Structure 1
């Protein structure tokens, strides 16, 4: 079960157990709205619930949990079983649909849903071989060069690769049926949903009608299906879209707005892959007074023939008509499927905010001799037991999680003294917090070095990230990894980014640490496929 804890947050209003549950979903998480029980998903205080119901505005409301997540960064205690999540996702089974699997790169292969073919339907399960039997990291790491160029990264937060994703969907899937975003909890489905809502992939009016999904670092934020109507990619629309992308690719920095320029520079300085997402088709609700404008979305063949244009801004709420939606296909955001073992399930809300990255991750590399230990917060401890030479440990985790190096003989006392305090950072709350945090359980791994420039394996720390271990070629290395049993820490071979040790600066004098070296940001400007591949190849070289 999912159970999210948080410090006590004062909640105003009272429940009313006699008021029937509505048939209206929360526009933020998809749960049915009600006022009967505070601990149940979709709860609103009865005073607010009844007022919205009487005013006829319940359909646009968000539940108390979404409000606290969005505005106060507080997560109320909820319990939702894995079977409940699975039951929602299995609504896909009877439909002809495209399933987009969203994975968390910090937690491969565990963020790949193991029983996705069965959840998607019997026909899908019979029609495709079970690739889950082949390790996900191995498949990703050993893709042919041509496939690596095709498997470009998509970052919904910065917009990188989104325009290419839209073009690919419109060319390959077209308008054959619905599209579902599926994946493990906290993989980024709702962020992608919100980004596509503001893009050419949805009907032009959708962003004015549909509330954005609630996003937060807590697993299980989305509790039911959220959706928006997909635009029909007719030849006219595709042509107009390509015209806009071509024009955008020719724009120079001087032609961008100050707000857009600040955004691009902000993300690029942090080493992000950055993209620009535009709208070819817009609803006419914001037309200037006295100016008659056509909506290109409604003029395309097969579009919204019944949609009207206006000569000025409308004060009435924007709504879809029956004719606009009667034959529509939809993109759905689904609840995250809870992983059986995940470090986030052991953390409170403040600790989750520290562990889940909010900025681009810059690897931190340390060199250790045998009989030394490395702490990743108080969440994990890696002991370097045996080896002929020093090894490099590259930590890929949030910068808010401290890394501490010590000798093996001092490791136990360091943990006892500093776990829950500033030195190790997470968990936080002192000795009282550590009394309820599970004990660290050791497991031993052996690996063989592959040389100074190539990691031998990754120590995978669940959703918190991983530590890549680089050793001298042929050297037999013995490690002991300590972590909570429920977190599911493991060894990943081959490593996800084998040459990540190259992303280190100069050695810090009298220290085991190297200066971090940020990669350059990369801007996706809507280039042609070949131009985009060339840019990404140069970025990959800077990393690998």
Structure 2
């Protein structure tokens, strides 16, 4: 038994997600059958099912509990690693993080850079990240670009951790589905002699309580539960749709030349209306699991009514009924600017022209939609 497993067993908590173990109710977090308590490592039934069957349980932790745990960091002397998802940067950035962590230094780790085209200028990207983070009120000691899954830039993460940790504990924070546990598993393998791995899956809320991973110097890496942000498309779609919208490989941009009063549908998850402006091109950065359909603006309502959940899919009609109704966001792209139309959890549309445009976005109510400086 490793020191990590011994620590979790003594604490009576799951070695996968950190939740307190219990044998009374299958519907509550931390359930474990009596017969499974002798296994090593000891993990709850939910983690067992995720690890072995990639099956999601419906157990969730109240958002107030997440914030309460996060707020405890301010009273510590620690290094805080904030992991964000580059594909969903504005949706996964904890803009109010500073008030939770106090004066502790924040290292911003931007994960999933492997999704961008290989010709992407990393120095420009890093500058873009710094500017966006500052605009959101986040003070950082450094920014590191990486892909934990593809082992890109991970040596820089380890170097930065060593540079800024200075013998302290390390808290790892982030929204759900940003690759937090994947990154910590890499740290476990590269930074300590522990052989246990945290539970990782595509499903939000995988980590249910803080998980402490002891280090050789007596300190620890603490994996915090993921913050669940309902403004992200990934939190609103049915579980079976996640695979279609979460990218696994390099994004293949789609370029559309549009006249004003033309519409693009992204499955049945979003609608893009080019309401007003000179003919120009738009570059779409989405997963290839989401098909794009073009039509005239005057036919858009009819097309959606007739083909939602069928030609325009995913989701299916039944899955759409589980989601909030669409709401409209009107965005004015200034003349002479370089902008993206960002849809949290779904991707972004780069506006390539500089003549300005009026754009309407229709998406499930609550999903964050905004105009930002172009990422690429």
- Report the TM-score when normalising by structure 2: 0.83
Q: Deviation of residue 167 (structure 1)?
A: 2.1
Partner residue in 2 for 1:349: 239
Q: Deviation of residue 183 (structure 1)?
A: 1.3
Partner residue in 1 for 2:325: 439
Does 2:60 correspond to 1:79?
A: yes
User: 2:205, 2:133 → 1: CA distance?
Assistant: 29
User: 1:229, 1:190 → 2: CA distance?
Assistant: 15
| Equivalent position to 2:339, from 450, 457, 472 | 457
Change (3 A) 1:138 1:167: closer
Q: Matches of residues 281-360 of structure 1 in structure 2 within 5 Å?
A: 328-360=218-250
Does 2:286 correspond to 1:397?
A: yes
Change (3 A) 1:138 1:496: farther
User: 1:152, 1:97 → 2: CA distance?
Assistant: 18
User: 1:115, 1:446 → 2: CA distance?
Assistant: 27
| Equivalent position to 2:147, from 148, 152, 155 | 155
Change (3 A) 1:142 1:101: closer
User: 1:180, 1:114 → 2: CA distance?
Assistant: 17
Does 2:345 correspond to 1:466?
A: no
Give the RMSD, CA atoms, in angstroms: 2.5
Partner residue in 2 for 1:448: 334
User: 2:60, 2:185 → 1: CA distance?
Assistant: 25
Q: Deviation of residue 101 (structure 1)?
A: 0.9
> Any stretches of 5+ residues in structure 2 without a counterpart?
1-9, 107-127, 136-141
Q: Deviation of residue 68 (structure 1)?
A: 2.2
User: 2:163, 2:235 → 1: CA distance?
Assistant: 39
Q: Is the 8 A contact 2:245 2:290 kept in 1?
A: yes
Partner residue in 1 for 2:211: 226
Partner residue in 2 for 1:30: 18
**How far does the alpha carbon of each residue in 1:402-433 deviate from its partner, in whole angstroms, 9 at most, with x for none?**
11111112211221222222x322212x3x33
Partner residue in 2 for 1:487: 367
Partner residue in 2 for 1:184: 175
Q: Deviation of residue 358 (structure 1)?
A: 1.9
Change (3 A) 1:61 1:138: closer
**How far does the alpha carbon of each residue in 1:489-539 deviate from its partner, in whole angstroms, 9 at most, with x for none?**
2222x1222xxxxxxxxxxxxxxxxxxxxxxxxxxxxxxxxxxxxxxxxxx
Partner residue in 2 for 1:100: 81
Q: Matches of residues 166-315 of structure 1 in structure 2 within 5 Å?
A: 166-174=158-166, 176-199=167-190, 201-202=191-192, 204=193, 206-207=194-195, 211-231=196-216
- Residues matched between the structures, number: 340
**How far does the alpha carbon of each residue in 1:183-227 deviate from its partner, in whole angstroms, 9 at most, with x for none?**
11211110100111111x22x2x12xxx21111122211111223
Q: Deviation of residue 83 (structure 1)?
A: 0.6
User: 2:326, 2:74 → 1: CA distance?
Assistant: 41
User: 1:95, 1:151 → 2: CA distance?
Assistant: 22
User: 1:183, 1:28 → 2: CA distance?
Assistant: 17
User: 1:23, 1:163 → 2: CA distance?
Assistant: 32
User: 2:213, 2:220 → 1: CA distance?
Assistant: 6
Q: Is the 8 A contact 1:141 1:495 kept in 2?
A: no
SS in 2 for 1:198: helix
Change (3 A) 1:361 1:339: same
Q: Deviation of residue 107 (structure 1)?
A: 2.2
SS in 2 for 1:77: coil
Q: Which has the larger radius of gyration?
A: 1
Q: Is the 8 A contact 1:461 1:488 kept in 2?
A: yes
Partner residue in 2 for 1:40: 28
Q: Is the 8 A contact 2:78 2:169 kept in 1?
A: yes
Change (3 A) 1:338 1:64: same
User: 2:308, 2:50 → 1: CA distance?
Assistant: 28
| Equivalent position to 1:376, from 266, 283, 286 | 266
User: 1:230, 1:392 → 2: CA distance?
Assistant: 52
Q: Deviation of residue 340 (structure 1)?
A: 4.2
Q: Is the 8 A contact 2:260 2:274 kept in 1?
A: yes
User: 1:434, 1:184 → 2: CA distance?
Assistant: 24
Q: Is the 8 A contact 1:74 1:349 kept in 2?
A: no
**How far does the alpha carbon of each residue in 1:289-345 deviate from its partner, in whole angstroms, 9 at most, with x for none?**
xxxxxxxxxxxxxxxxxxxxxxxxxxxxxxxxxxxxxxx011121111122412122
User: 1:330, 1:198 → 2: CA distance?
Assistant: 14
Q: Deviation of residue 152 (structure 1)?
A: 4.7
Q: Deviation of residue 114 (structure 1)?
A: 2.4
Q: Deviation of residue 124 (structure 1)?
A: 4.4
Structure with the larger strand share: 2
Q: Is the 8 A contact 2:91 2:368 kept in 1?
A: no
